[in-house]
Structure 1
Amino acid sequence: MIAETAKRLWRTDRVLVIGIAIALGLVLGFAALASNVMETETDAFDHVILRVLRTPDGEPLGGMFLKGVVVNLSALGSSTIATLIVIIASLFLILVKRRNQAIVVIACGVGTAVAIWVLKDLFGRERPNIVPHLTDVSSLSFPSGHSLIASAIYPTLGLLLSMTFKERKLKLFVFITAAMLALVIGFTRVYMGVHFPTDVLGGWMLGLAWAIVCGLICRRLQEKGIVEPEST
């Protein structure tokens, strides 16, 4: 029954099948990573990466200038900035009569927040104490909230933006920009010593899976004419 359904979907909507497969693969990958993290099998890798980004006396590589840049970039993945972006984007979409897209953005933001809250409490991993932190943190470590936010919200917003034009080069630019933001924000958390690399990897995997789901919903709405088509 499942095989027949999959074959039928593959014939009628390959993008949907591929999207679901990738999202499911990312979720399964996250589950496997979480299992290894809880069994401390990733500790050696995590500790090495954290130490590589510091000088022998514990100072971050690149000096004060790079430290300041990294701290500022990291804020782009904070819950405060993400909330502002979701609110502003949603209000804008409502004003231009794209209410269904606004609902998707809100759902993406709320789903991301719930996932961070539930999973951090579920796994209960403490923050790394391998190197001095470059900023104060109080929440738990796994998965990285900043990384999850960046890999879920920015790609989703990028997809909605790309749906307003047909030029492939513009779509590619938007997707690359969203991906770079997610990668850079994740890196900043490790550089600052407040997350293990596997925290960031877990956040990326789960955030991207959620972004794909939101993207598939947007695509489906567009096909049904509920979401506005691409501009000419």
Structure 2
Amino acid sequence: MPVPATAAPPAAGTTHLPRHVAIIMDGNGRWAKKRFLPRFAGHKAGVEAVRAVTRAARSMGIEALTLYAFSSENWRRPEEEVSDLMGLLRLFIRTDIDELVRENVRLRVIGDYRRFSADLVAQVEDAIARTANNSGPILVIALNYGAQAEIAAAARRLAAKAADGALDIAHIDEAAIEAELDTSDLPPLDLLIRTSGEVRLSNFLLWQAAYAELLFIDTLWPDFDAAALESAVAEFGRRQRRFGGL
């Protein structure tokens, strides 16, 4: 079973397989543009990369894989593109849920996915329910997710508990905040990867990334495959993690 994010970090300097890997899947549009294809073709190719990488993560023994599928800022994109992304999400759930069930994968969703259409919300919740009792690796999909909103919501919940007298303000510390985050039941984030050459976090797992290893690579997401994940994990293994120590 996963441990809370408040678990003690490994000893400084150790190299090992990351328990929790997160990926900002960037570059679908540029991948399509390079091939003179519509953006939808890039997003469709990106779904194939999701399949390849989730399978590779399972094979490698990674406990949790979190994928940034739709940010709270993505609503600013053209309506047609948002509709295409929603369609691909429906397709992924419909075609891949049986494999997740069969492979003992537990699906989790972080973010306010209930803003989506009622039929898509029902599909997402059915997929979560079908895998809820699985005990193997965790696949986390970030949908309508924004880290700043996540932290603000955690603060509101803590403030409400304090106002009701259920929580002493003096007890609001890092552990209390982590317990209110969407990721509270996941292993601590070890490795955060962003594809496409962009070097920013784009409002993704800002709290959780405090001591994660960050890796920014030029590969466009549709070209990111099992070998690319293995290379990223190998790079993680070469780094020394001090967690503020020597």
**Bin for the TM-score computed over the shorter chain:** under 0.3
Could you say which structure has the larger radius of gyration? 1
Give the TM-score normalised by structure 2: 0.26
Would you tell me which structure has more strand in proportion to its own residues?
A: 2
Would you tell me which structure has more helix in proportion to its own residues?
A: 1
